[in-house]
Copies of this chain bind each other. A is one copy, B any other.
Amino acid sequence: MTETAKNTDLTKKQALVQYAAQIGDNGLIIGHRMSEWCFKAPSIEMEMALMNSALDLIGQARELYTYAGVAGGEGKTEDDFAYLRDEEDFRNLLLAEMPNGDWGDTIVRLFFMSAYNKLFYTALAKSTDKELAAIGEKSLKEVTYHLRFSSEWLIRLGDGTEESHNRVQKSIDNLWAFTGELFTMNEVENILLDDGISVDVTSLRPAWDKIVSDVLTQATLVKPQNDWAQLGGKSEGRHTEYMGYIIAEMQYMQRRYPGCEW
């Protein structure tokens, strides 16, 4: 048992609920961001690609929230997790909540996240928790497509015009500080690690670095050297100033009309 696990009051069951929910949080929040592109893309093809990716990611969140509800045994549904938790209960990676910005910002965010998701879901597919393993297996195909889509765009923008190159390099430089958090462990991950339920995300960094380096090289872009990392989302539910607006939009209906159904 790790040091962190020793100091906590969380049971393994509670840890499992939080673990499933926090993986779901990444999908829900970045999926929400992607859906904000709805009818703002310059072509129908991109419109559809963005909306389909959003649906994939929100779909992953649904399965994880549903499982979190089942594992908790208190009858909570996916909607309880999405609509009735407060900002500090969401433990998504801060990268997921970064604004869409320009097209380069959106592509870089999706690229960093998808490279991570691919490695993460590959590892989750080997979890000793059969349900998480099945969700990992199923999500892998989707995030692999997101990685291909965003890699191709990154190369096109980086190895494109001077303008597109400079702008997307700036996107990389700006978002880089949010990539360190991807490889940090939080309390529930540490609790579940010994049983082989959670993924040791610290071990994913070398493979992630390689994917990123390979694509950036093809894109004639430069990997930032400064590895200072902004932390807080996953470990403490301390979010950026952007998160409140996402939650407000997403939860308005259930907060205004508690228990509302159609």
Q: What is A's interface to B at a CB cutoff of 8 Å?
A: 32, 35, 38-48, 51-52, 54-55, 58-59, 61-62, 65, 78-79, 82, 103, 153, 157, 249-250, 253-254, 257, 260-262
Contacts and interface: CB of A to CB of B under 8 A. Distances in A.
Nearest to A55: B51
A51 B32 CA distance: 12
Nearest to A46: B262
Interface of A is mostly: helix
17 contacts: A35-B38, A35-B51, A39-B249, A40-B253, A41-B262, A42-B79, A42-B254, A42-B261, A44-B62, A44-B82, A45-B78, A46-B262, A48-B55, A48-B59, A51-B55, A103-B262, A157-B262
Given A55-B55, A262-B103, A62 B48 contact: yes
How many copies of this chain sit in the oligomeric assembly? 2
Contacts of A62: 44-45, 48
A22 B55 CA distance: 28
Contacts of A40: 253
A42 B78 contact: no
Contacts of A58: 44, 47-48
Given A42-B262, A43-B79, A51-B51, 6 more contacts: A39-B250, A41-B253, A44-B78, A45-B62, A51-B54, A55-B55
